Structure 1
Amino acid sequence: MRTITFYRLLVIVFFAVTGVLYSNGIAVYYDALATRCIPTGCGNSVPALILDPGGLSVEMTALYLVLIDVLFTAVFYVSAGAMLWKGAREPMGLLAALAMVAFGTTFPSLAIVSAEGSELARIWFYAVSTIGWTSITLFCLLFPNGRFVPAWTKSAMVIIAIWNGANFIVQGSLWEKLHLPVMVQVVWFLSTTALLIYSQVYRFKKVSSPAERQQTKWVVYGVTVSFIGFGLLSILFGSPVNDGRAMTFIWLNAVLNLSLAALPVTLALAVLRRRLWEINPLVNRTIVYGALTLCIVLVYAATVLYLGRLLGNWNPYIVSFLVTAVVAVLFAPLKEWLQRQVNRLFKGRHDDPYAVLLELGGQLMEPLAPDAMLEVIAGKVKEVLRLPYAAIAAGVEGQEAIIAEAGERKDSLELHAFPIIHRGRTLGTLYAASRSTGELFSSEDMMFLEVLLGHAGPLVNNADMLQAMRKLAEDLQESREKLVAAREEERRQLRNNLHDDLAPRLAALALKTSIARKFVERDPASAIAMLDELGQVIRTTVGDIRVLVHDLRPPALDELGLVGAIRARMSELGKSTHQMAGDEQVRPLRFELEVPEQLPNLSAAVEVAIYRIVTESLVNTVKHAQASVCRVRLAVSERRRLVVEIVDDGVSGGTVAIWSGMSSGIGLRSMRERAAEVGGECSFERTADGGMKVEAVLPLIERGASVEQKELKLG
């Protein structure tokens, strides 16, 4: 804090001394202009001027030149005062104030001309000039965070400081001492100006925060307008435009000072940063009117030359009138065309969305997949709005995923989300990155996006349907593979049972039959024993065969039908629970069945799935639910789906897992798989009283339906 206070005091003292010397030199400068500079010239500062008869007098010309210089310096002094008052606690504020005081004092001719009679004042002003050029260069290389970016600019700053110091030692005549041509001076000036602009642009893209970027825009704008204006107008001072007349010199001097006055204003806004107005419209207007002025000058000159040759014998006033009319007619359309081109340079073609849609329609007429069409849309948004990145996202398997993008996505980009709506349903999102951090989309941008997103909805819908169809095809292929694997597994198991168990038994039966036949006459008693054993084996084999057949399809379904088979299974389990209740002093389990008066003629696959789900649920209820009532309900829904519900009033409560440990068992998984195999679904949930509810919703595939009909119902 003490160091900053000390530097601030030094800058204030420097400001005061320089201001006093400058103020004292105003009268001296006026006298020098009136008596010496305008009639005979004052070296490079003020050339000898030609006064038109009846025009400005020497005194008025001198007064105008003094006013131009004083006003120029006043703008710099006011900016320096504002920075010392509001931003003096920051090193960049002090450096900017120092640069404004030094540059604003010594750039006009007033300081140099008025100091010619005083050696002390002359040396002081040369020192101030050196400080001005050095400090403004240093400020542009350090602003806004006080670091050289890129790092090699520190070496460039050292070279510039040495050159400015050497120029101070020889009192501003280093170029003459070294006998360097004017072109080298121009290259030096342009290269140093390009260095300052490059440093700020590089900092803007690579280093700066959003607030610092806004500050950088103002600095780049001020430096560019001031230094490029200075370079161009300096050329005009030595061109045929400067005819040596006093009025021409006054106008050139005024325009030159006006272009350089952009520097203190923009630097003050950037340093104080209390309210950083959006600079893009200002840059836009500057480019438009700068280009418009250049075009008007060229059109005027070309028209004068052409009509002067074509109408050489006409009255000059008529030719001037025709030239003015041509310029007036071309002014409005030329300005509109330039404004449109600059707008597109800054923000793309957002001002003509329907022309963009026409181009987009031509591209989409090509044979492209829906996802490729979305790539075209994302690319068009990026191109038209001049964005660094654009992407389209949609839901894939319950999660949002990028399905089309254009440009490179970086973490530093600020993305804005725009929903893509089709027929009242949000299908996806368009993500568009800001052109620069902190920059919002304009109303024209929003209008363009609104029109484009309205046409993108059907394409996203098509892409969504394509994704769904691909997923469905993958699921169908996976289901087919599972069905084939299950079928082959069943066949393998059946073959093993027949080959390893049943076939040896039948072969043994045939062998024992032959042996018993031989013993019938020789040892009837042994034969009878063999036949008894043979009968027992036959009964066991018949039981095994029944087990195999039951595994293929429960016989009760063919014998009793679906409802009868469920009732039979309920009766069987009910008897078991009543016996257990009598032996173990537990409450018996009562089964209830609710079915419609007439069930549709179901296919064999659906019947087996229902029977297996119901019997598995009943067994789980008996084993795990500790219930007193288990209700089974079969119903046909309005959507022609068969609904199967199995509900018990188990007392396990909410703290115990479903069916007391069966939530991940084979039974639950097999019920889900059996429902899925026929195109249905099976779910499990608790009831309000702590019991268990199993609900399966299966398609009504009737017996004898064709393959095509089954596929339609499943779909």
Structure 2
Amino acid sequence: MKTTRIYMLLVTVFFLATAALYINCIPNYYHALIDRCITSGCGLSVPALGMEPGGMPVQQTALWLVLIDVSFTMLFYASAAIILWKGGREPMGLLGALALVAFGTTFPSLVMVGSEGTPLLKQWFMGVSTIAWSAVSLFCLLFPNGTFVPRWSRYAFVLIMLQNLINFFSGGSMWEHYGLPIVFQFVWFLSTVALLIYSQVHRFRNVSTPEQRQQTKWVVYGVSVTFIGFAIITLMFSPVVNDGSATMFIWLNAALHMTLAALPITLTLALLRRRLWDINPLVNRTIVYGALTLAIVLLYAASVLYLGKVLNNWNPLVVSFIVTALVAVAFAPIKEWLQRQVNRMLKGRHDDPYAVLLELGVQMAEPLAPEAMLEVIAGKVKEALRLPYVGVAIGVEGQETVIAEAGEGRGQHELQAFPVVHRGRALGTVYAASRSPGEAFSAEDNLFLEVLLRHAGPLVNNADMLQAMRKLAEDLQESREKLVLAREEERRQIRNNLHDDLAPRLAALALNAATARKFVERDPAAAIAMLDELRSTIRSTVGDIRTLVHDLRPPALDELGLVGAIRTRMDELSKPALLLAGEENAKPLRFELDVEGALPALRAAVEVAVYRIVTESMVNTVKHANATVCRVQLAVMERERLYVEIRDDGASNPQHPIWSGMSSGIGLMSMRERAAEIGGECGFERLETGGMRVWAQLPLNHTEASKDKGEKLA
């Protein structure tokens, strides 16, 4: 902090000393203009001017030249004073103020002409000129964070400093001192300016933060306008273009200084950065009116040359009037055309969404997949608005997934979301990156996107449906694979049971029967004992066979039907439920069965699925629900579907998931799979009043099941 105050004090002292010496040179400059500069010339600073008869006198010409130079310098001084006052505690602020003071002092001819005859004063301003070009170059290479970007630019700055020092020791005319052609000076000037602009552009793209990018825009704009204007207007001082009159020199001098006045204004806005106005409209207007001015001048010159030859016998006043009228008529169409071209160059075709839609329609007429169509839309939006990145995202399995994009570096840009709505439903989102960080989309951009996305809604809907169909197809394939695996596993288990258990028992029975036959005559008592053991084994084997058959299909379904089998299972479960209630001194669990109307004949697969879902749910209620009522409801719904619901009033912990503590028999997943196998649905939910609800909707016939699967895939 202390070092910064010392630097601020040194810059302030330099500012005041230079300003005082500058003011002291004003009278000397005025008298030098009158005495010798206007009539005989003062070197490169002020050439000899041709005084027009009846034109401005020498004194008035000198006054105008003094006013132009002083106004230019005072603008630089005012900007430097504001920066020292508001931002003098920052290193870049001090460097910017130093550059403005030095450049604003030495660029006009005033100090160089006014200090002639005073060697010490002349050397002071030569040193100030060296500081000016060095400080401006260093500022452009360091702004806004005080580091050289790219790093090799520090070596380029060493060359710039070396050239400025050589120029200082050569008396301010290095090129003439060493006899170098003027083309060398011109190439050096363009190379230096290109380096300074490139440094800021490179920093803008790769290093700067959003706020720093906005600052950089102002600096690049000011430096570009300043030096490009300086190069163009300097060429107009050539005798080929300039007639050497005092009036022409005053106008060119005023235009040159006015062009360079962009530098202090833009640097002040960039350094203070308290309120960074959007520079894009200013750049737009500058390009438009610069190109418009050039076009009007060329049109006027071409018209004068052409009509002057064609109408050489006419009065020149009439020819001049015709040319002026032609330029006036062409002014508005040229301006409109240039404005449209510049808008498209900077922001794309946001002002003509229907032309973009027409081009898009031509591309959509080609046979493309929905994803390819969305990629075409993303590419068209990117191209039309000149954006770095555009992506289209839809929901896939509950997660937002980008399915089409144009451009690269999605994570490197600031994205703005635009929902895609079709028939009142949000189908997806278009993510568009700003043209530059921190830059918002204009009203024209939003209108363009609104029109385009309105027509893109059906395409996004098709892509969404295609993704859903693919997911359903994948689920169907997975279910089929599970069914095949389950079937083969069940077959293997039956084969193992038959081969490893039942077959040996039957073989043993045959062996025991043969042995008993031999003992019938020799030892009847032993034969009777063998037959008794054989009978016991046969009964056990029959029980095992019944168990095996029961696992394949509950026999109660064939004996009692679905309703009777469920009632029997309720009776079986009521006994352990009654015992548990007696041990815990609680109210016993009561089962209720509600069948609305007579059930139609059910397919075997439907009966098994309903029975398994109902019995597993009742077992879970007995074991885990701590309920007093378990109610089972069967009803036939519309479209020939059977509705099954199992509801209890248990006091289960709402913090635990539905799966928690439930039996590992068929299980919840198995219930869903049994329902899905026959084209139905199964779900589970925890009731707000306590307890659990298991529901299922199953098709009653095979045709309806096939139709339901088809609708899901569609």
Greater displacement, 403-412 / 427-436: 403-412
2:682 maps to 1:701: no
List aligned pairs for 1:308-387, cutoff 5 A. Answer: 308-387=308-387
Q: Secondary structure at the match of 1:237?
A: coil
Q: Deviations over 1:362-389 (max 9, x none)?
A: 1111111111111111111111111111
SS in 2 for 1:636: strand
Question: Does the alignment pair 1:504 with 2:534?
Answer: no
For residues 713 and 105 of structure 1, the distance between their equivalents in structure 2, rounded to whole angstroms, comes to: 83
Sort the Cα spacing of 1:710 and 1:165 in 2 relative to 1 into closer, same or farther, 3 A.
closer
Offset of 1:454 from its aligned partner? 0.5
Q: Is the CA contact 1:427–1:460 (under 8 Å) kept in the aligned structure 2?
A: yes
**Partner amino acid for 1:697?**
A
2:404 aligned counterpart, secondary structure: strand
Q: Do the aligned partners of 1:37 and 1:48 also contact (CA within 8 Å) in 2?
A: yes
Amino acid at match of 1:263: L
Which deviates more, 547-556 or 284-293? Answer: 547-556
Are the counterparts in 2 of residues 625 and 659 from structure 1 also a CA contact under 8 Å?
no
> Do the aligned residues in 1 keep the contact of 2:378 with 2:404 (CA within 8 Å)?
yes
Q: How many angstroms apart in 2 are the aligned matches of 1:214 and 1:503?
A: 88
Q: Shift of the alpha carbon at 1:469?
A: 0.4
Contact 2:418 2:431 in 1 (8 A): yes
Q: Which amino acid aligns with 1:282?
A: L
Residue 115 of structure 1: how far off its partner (Å): 1.4
Match of 1:244 in 2: 244
Matches within 5 A, 1:133-152: 133-152=133-152
Helix, strand or coil at the partner of 2:501: helix
Q: How far apart are the structure 2 equivalents of 1:387 and 1:455?
A: 20
1:274 corresponds to: 274
Contact map agreement 1:76 1:104 (CA 8 A) in 2? yes
State which drifts further: 693-702 or 141-150.
693-702
> Number of matched residues?
713
Aligned-residue CA RMSD (Å): 2.5
Q: State the percentage of identical aligned residues.
A: 69
Deviation at 1:239, TM superposition (A): 4.2
- After TM superposition, the structure 1 stretch with the greater mean CA deviation from structure 2, 230-239 or 18-27, is 18-27
Which is further off, 534-543 or 524-533?
524-533
1:523 is displaced (CA, Å) by 4.8
TM-score by length of 1: 0.94
Higher mean alpha-carbon deviation, 621-630 vs 368-377, is at: 621-630
1:94 aligns with 2:100: no
Q: Distance in 2 between matches of 1:128 and 1:678?
A: 93
**Equivalent AA in structure 2 for residue 551 of structure 1:** D
Question: How far has the Cα of 1:222 moved from its partner?
Answer: 0.8
Equivalent residues in 2 for 1:592-631, closer than 5 Å: 592-631=592-631
Q: 1:399-438 maps to which residues of 2 (within 5 A)? A: 399-438=399-438
Structure 1 residue 674: deviation in Å?
2.3
- SS for the counterpart of 2:80 is helix
Q: Deviations over 1:595-629 (max 9, x none)?
A: 11212332211110111122223333444445444
Q: After TM superposition, give the deviation of residue 712 of structure 1 in Å.
A: 5.2
Contact 1:61/1:246 (8 A) holds in 2: yes
Q: Distance in 2 between matches of 1:523 and 1:663?
A: 54
Larger displacement relative to structure 2 (3-12 or 36-45):
3-12
Aligned match of 1:287:
287
Deviations 1:524-559 (A, max 9, x none): 544444444443333333323222222221121122
For 2:435 and 2:259, how far apart are their aligned partners in 1?
28
Determine helix, strand or coil for the equivalent of 1:435: coil
On the 8 A contact 1:96/1:267 being kept in 2, the answer is yes
Superposition deviation, residue 169 in structure 1 = 1.6
- Answering whether residue 195 of structure 2 is matched by residue 195 of structure 1, we say yes
CA spacing shift, 1:529–1:86, aligned 2, 3 Å: closer
What amino acid maps onto 1:237 in structure 2? F
Distance 1:349 1:659 in 2: 56
CA distance in 1, matches of 2:582, 2:267: 99
Moved more, 628-637 or 134-143: 628-637
Letter matched to residue 670 of structure 1: S
Kept in 1: contact 2:597–2:635 (CA 8 A): no
Residues 97-136 of structure 1, C-alpha deviation per residue, up to 9 Å, x if partnerless? 2222221122111111111122222222222212211211
Counterparts of 1:166 and 1:250, CA distance in 2: 32
Residue in 2 that maps onto 1:66: 66
Distance 2:246 2:347 in 1: 44
- Alpha-carbon distance between aligned partners in 2 of 1:27 and 1:388, rounded to the nearest angstrom: 57
Which secondary structure does the structure 2 equivalent of 1:432 belong to?
strand
For residue 431 of structure 2, give the secondary structure of its aligned residue in structure 1.
Answer: strand
For 1:156, give the aligned amino acid: A
**Are residues 663 and 381 of structure 1, via their aligned partners in 2, closer, same or farther at CA, if it must alter by over 3 Å?**
farther
With over 3 angstroms needed to count, the CA separation of the structure-2 counterparts of 1:528 and 1:471, relative to structure 1, is: same
What do residues 652-700 of structure 1 show as CA deviations (whole Å, max 9, x unaligned)? 666888798326665444333323323334444455675x424121222
**Does the aligned pair in 2 maintain the 1:602–1:701 contact within 8 Å?**
yes
Q: Residues 456-488 of structure 1, C-alpha deviation per residue, up to 9 Å, x if partnerless?
A: 111111111000000111111111111111222
Q: Higher mean Cα deviation, 545-554 or 665-674? A: 665-674
CA distance in structure 1 between the partners assigned to 2:644 and 2:192 by the alignment: 85
1:71 and 1:658 map into 2 onto residues whose CA distance is: 83
CA distance in 1, matches of 2:285, 2:529: 118
Please give the secondary structure, in 1, of the residue aligned with 2:402.
strand
| Bigger shift: residues 508-517 or 487-496 | 508-517
Q: Which moved more, 1:581-590 or 1:172-181?
A: 581-590
The farther-off stretch of 224-233 and 506-515 is: 506-515
Q: Distance in 2 between matches of 1:82 and 1:457?
A: 54
Checking the alignment, whether the CA contact within 8 Å between 1:197 and 1:220 is kept in structure 2 is yes
Query: Alpha-carbon deviation of 1:405?
Result: 1.1
The match for 1:113 is: 113
Distance 1:95 1:242 in 2: 37
Per-residue deviation at 1:429?
Answer: 0.8
Q: Deviation digits for residues 49-71 of structure 1, max 9, x if unmatched?
A: 11222222222222221211111
Q: CA deviation at 1:8?
A: 2.4
- CA deviation after TM superposition for structure 1 residue 287, in Å: 0.7
Does the alignment pair 1:447 with 2:422?
no
In structure 2, the CA distance between the partners of 1:375 and 1:40, relative to structure 1 (3 Å rule), is: same
Q: Report deviation, 1:513.
A: 4.1
Please state how far the C-alpha of 1:347 moved relative to its aligned partner: 0.8
Query: Tell me, what secondary structure is at the counterpart of 1:301?
Result: helix
Give 1:175's aligned residue. 175
Answer yes or no: is the 8 Å Cα contact 2:30–2:66 preserved in 1: yes
Which amino acid is 2:572 matched to? E
Cα distance in 2, alignment partners of residues 200 and 177 from structure 1: 33
Preserved contact between residue 680 and residue 705 of structure 2 (Cα < 8 Å): no
Structure 2 counterpart of 1:454, one-letter code = R
Q: Which moved more, 1:488-497 or 1:100-109?
A: 488-497
Counterpart code for 2:480: R
The two structures have a TM-score, normalised by structure 2, of 0.94
Query: Per-residue displacement from partner, 1:157-191 (whole Å, max 9, x unpaired)?
Result: 22211221221122112111111000000001111
Question: CA 1:674–1:52 in 2, change beyond 3 Å: closer, same or farther?
Answer: same
Give the deviation of 1:91 after TM superposition.
2.0
Distance 2:3 2:25 in 1: 33
Change (3 A) 1:528 1:221: same
Relative to structure 1, is the Cα distance of residues 616 and 316 closer, same or farther in structure 2, using a 3 angstrom cutoff? same
* Residue 211 of structure 1, CA deviation: 1.5
Measured at CA, do residues 13 and 655 of structure 1 come closer, stay the same or move farther in structure 2, by a change above 3 Å? closer
Instruction: Identify which range, 166-175 or 340-349, moves more after superposition.
Output: 166-175
Q: Which runs of 5+ in 2 are unaligned?
A: none
Q: Distance in 2 between matches of 1:243 and 1:655?
A: 94
In the aligned structure 1, how far is the partner of 2:185 from the partner of 2:10?
A: 33
What's the secondary structure of 1:304's corresponding residue? helix
Could you tell me how far 1:259 is from its partner in structure 2? 0.5
Q: Distance in 1 between matches of 2:654 and 2:11?
A: 79
Distance in 2, matches of 1:530 and 1:167, equals: 130
Contact kept? 2:204, 2:213, Cα under 8 Å: yes
Tell me how far apart the structure 1 counterparts of residues 407 and 626 of structure 2 sit (CA, whole Å). 63
Indicate how the Cα distance of structure 1 residues 580 and 5 shifts in structure 2: closer, same or farther if over 3 A, else same.
closer
Partner residue, 2:219: 219
In the TM superposition, 1:474-485 aligns within 5 A as 474-485=474-485
Q: What residue in structure 1 maps to residue 31 of structure 2?
A: 31
